[in-house]
């Protein structure tokens, strides 16, 4: 893997999109919330246009009859994510799908699969269509399709036409009118105007698809605009780059970068002002580094892992500790020696996670804004944020992935996982609506389930990184990962909301894809894994599971097994 970066200033430098920039300025925009989907593209006078199917205010969002209209790319600048869904649903260049399959996709919707195969996503809902020019308030124009015209068309009107024989590019057929208002273009159904209605089950027509399949210009223009829009988002994110040497796609524009959790309805987390901090005797520069390494004394380390080796030096206390532990009762941890979570190597190198925490996954507690120790305290690592540059890059068969631009050493902190924090119910609602073919970005905050006052199996929160998050949302799974995720908290009493922090689990050379195990499994012997993989492949329950493309020797065959 090369370590070449794509700088944000030179976003198009390392991917195959044409170099010239066409950030057209829209004088009028179609409001994204009024779009149902984009259903075709065409080129008129060398300009890209897209056929928009509008939503109506009524449920369901795609009623049997809706308005459709052609719009230049500039009018769709606020709705580029719809254009992206359309372009990414088309057969990929060089795909094996035949032209016939492309054209007949109308009758047999195909789903775009992971890289390598592709299809045309089409919705067969019967809709009424509007093909129009986009200039001003439109008045009905004569149809070239020979459809019947009526000022009182009922919703059942299905106008059959000789559309197949017409040059559709010169045709203006619609059942609504477009209005321009406050810089936006709106479509509304015409009740009074003498407007033509056609059966939009025929949209896009065979001719439109034919033209579209032979006209890549609008797709190239759209992909360039989409890339520019994503780079604009990335411009505000320090130290994250984008690279795609595989194809012309861009990460979803439906995704926004955030720098902290976004708590959704029903989710609460304590205000940092109310965190309990460590008090005397912790203080800045208490020893040669600073106070909180005296783990018996620092309040923030009350729930840190007990250092049993140290404790053994006090046989009486050790025996008492073992007794409490074996009884299953709460162990009084006050005053016990604890394991400090981080090591601070010399020579200005970054702190690393101690091997005990790296292997045992005991929660890590850091000091907070109310502590007596101050900013230089050695427990403050994750809260200081990412210090390495990351690149989101396109993989051959796992969608987008992430690599670090610098060498990482074992135990080095990378970044946290961010997203919207949801209740379990809201997560279930989103899961029910989710496209099974899309990736999963859900992360459970269930580390403390079963503890006192902690959430239960039914109530823990979930982080959803699909629409909001940071670069770690693009980290792929491997059955032999080089990173691990750890629970890190600045508030030892909060068992509901805490950080999901990624640390290097091995030394990772710059440019190597970062991965973690989505199932968080412990290492297994290779022969056990191979046996389980064979069983998993034969198991019909796994038919719907997503095959794992991690390529590791110990690959388990599927994600989430």
Q: Which residues bind ligand SAM (CB under 6 A)?
A: 398-400, 439-441, 473-474, 476-477, 546, 548-550, 559
Q: What's the CA gap between 305 and 452, in Å, rounded?
A: 18
Pairing of strands 413-416, 462-464: unpaired
Question: In the bound complex, which residue of the shown chain has the CB atom lying closest to ligand SAM?
Answer: 399
**Packing angle of the helix pair 80-89, 217-234 (nearest 10 deg):** 130
Q: How far is the CB of 116 from ligand SAM (least distance, A)?
A: 12
Query: Cis (ω within 30 of 0) for the bond into 149?
Result: no
Q: Is 267 or 392 the residue whose CB approaches ligand SAM more closely?
A: 392
Q: Does residue 49 contact residue 43 with C-beta atoms inside 8 Å? A: yes
Q: How far is the CB of 449 from ligand SAM (least distance, A)?
A: 22
Q: How far is the CB of 452 from ligand SAM (least distance, A)?
A: 32
Q: How far is the CB of 399 from ligand SAM (least distance, A)?
A: 3
Q: Is 335 or 551 the residue whose CB approaches ligand SAM more closely?
A: 551
State the SS3 of 380-429. Answer: CCHHHCCCCCEEEEECCCCCEEEEECCCECCCEEEEECCCEEECHHHHHH
Q: What's the CA gap between 17 and 1, in Å, rounded?
A: 21
Q: How far is the CB of 310 from ligand SAM (least distance, A)?
A: 39
Q: How far is the CB of 230 from ligand SAM (least distance, A)?
A: 13
Q: Is 426 or 480 the residue whose CB approaches ligand SAM more closely?
A: 480
DSSP secondary structure code for residue 212 in this structure: H
Instruction: Decide if 493 is catalytic.
Output: no
Q: Is 476 or 482 the residue whose CB approaches ligand SAM more closely?
A: 476
Give the burial class of 372: count Cβ atoms within 10 A of its Cβ; 0-12 exposed, 13-18 middle, 19 or more buried. Answer: buried
Instruction: Decide if 303 is catalytic.
Output: no
Q: What is the phi-psi region of residue 450: left when phi exceeds 0, alpha when psi lies from -120 to 50, beta otherwise?
A: left
Q: Is 28 or 473 the residue whose CB approaches ligand SAM more closely?
A: 473
Catalytic residue among 357, 417, 461, 498: 417
Angle at 245 between CA 239 and CA 251, to 5 degrees: 60
Q: Is 322 or 536 the residue whose CB approaches ligand SAM more closely?
A: 536
One DSSP character per residue, 163-176 reads: GGGS-GGG--B-SE
Token pair for residue 424?
Answer: 């379990």
List active site positions. 417, 518
């Amino acid at each position: 893997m090369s370590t070449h970066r794509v700088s944000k200033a030179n976003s198009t430098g390392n991917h195959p999109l044409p170099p010239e920039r066409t950030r057209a300025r829209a004088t009028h925009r179609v409001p994204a919330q009024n779009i149902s989907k984009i259903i075709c593209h065409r080129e008129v006078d060398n300009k890209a246009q897209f056929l928009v199917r509008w939503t109506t205010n009524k449920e369901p969002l795609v009623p049997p009859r809706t308005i459709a209209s052609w719009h230049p790319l500039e009018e769709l600048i606020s709705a580029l994510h719809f254009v992206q869904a359309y372009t990414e649903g088309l057969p990929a260049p060089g795909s094996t799908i035949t032209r016939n399959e492309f054209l007949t996709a109308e009758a047999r919707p195909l789903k775009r699969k992971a890289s390598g195969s592709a299809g045309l996503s089409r919705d067969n809902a019967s809709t009424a269509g509007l093909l129009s020019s986009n200039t001003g308030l439109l008045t009905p124009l004569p149809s070239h399709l020979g459809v019947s015209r009526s000022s009182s068309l009922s919703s059942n009107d299905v106008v059959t036409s000789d559309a197949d024989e017409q040059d559709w590019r010169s045709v203006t057929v619609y059942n609504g009118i477009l209005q321009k208002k406050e810089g936006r273009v709106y479509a509304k159904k015409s009740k009074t105007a003498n407007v033509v209605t056609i059966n939009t089950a025929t949209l896009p027509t065979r001719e439109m698809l034919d033209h579209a399949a032979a006209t890549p210009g609008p797709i190239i223009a759209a992909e360039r605009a989409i890339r520019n829009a994503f780079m604009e988002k990335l411009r505000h994110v320090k130290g994250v780059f984008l690279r795609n040497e595989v194809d012309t796609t861009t990460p979803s524009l439906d995704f926004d970068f955030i720098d902290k959790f976004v708590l959704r309805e029903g989710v609460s987390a304590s205000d940092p002002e109310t965190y309990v901090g460590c008090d005397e005797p912790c203080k800045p520069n208490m020893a040669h580094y600073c106070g909180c390494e005296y783990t018996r004394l620092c309040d923030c380390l009350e729930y840190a892992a007990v250092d049993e080796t140290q404790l053994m030096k006090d046989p009486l206390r050790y025996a008492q500790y073992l007794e409490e532990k074996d009884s299953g009762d709460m162990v009084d941890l006050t005053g016990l020696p604890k394991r400090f979570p981080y090591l601070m190597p010399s020579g200005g190198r970054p702190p690393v996670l101690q091997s005990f925490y790296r292997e045992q996954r005991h929660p890590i507690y850091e000091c907070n804004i109310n502590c007596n120790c101050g900013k230089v305290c050695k427990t403050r690592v994750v809260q200081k944020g990412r210090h390495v540059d990351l690149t989101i890059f396109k993989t051959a068969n796992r969608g987008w992935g992430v690599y670090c631009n610098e060498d990482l050493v074992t135990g080095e902190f990378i970044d946290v996982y961010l997203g919207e924090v949801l209740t379990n119910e809201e997560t279930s609602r989103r899961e029910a609506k989710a496209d099974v073919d899309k990736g999963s970005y859900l992360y459970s905050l269930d580390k403390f389930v079963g503890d006192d006052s902690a959430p239960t199996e039914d109530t823990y929160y979930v982080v959803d990184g699909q629409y909001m998050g940071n670069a770690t949302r693009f980290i792929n799974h491997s059955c032999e990962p080089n990173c691990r995720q750890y629970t890190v908290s600045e508030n030892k009493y909060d068992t509901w909301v805490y950080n999901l922090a990624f640390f290097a689990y091995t030394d990772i050379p710059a440019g190597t894809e970062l991965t973690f195990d989505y199932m968080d499994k412990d290492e297994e012997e290779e022969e056990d894994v191979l046996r389980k993989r064979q069983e998993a492949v034969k198991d019909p329950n796994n038919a719907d599971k997503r095959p794992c493309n991690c390529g590791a020797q110990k690959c388990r065959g599927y994600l989430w097994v």
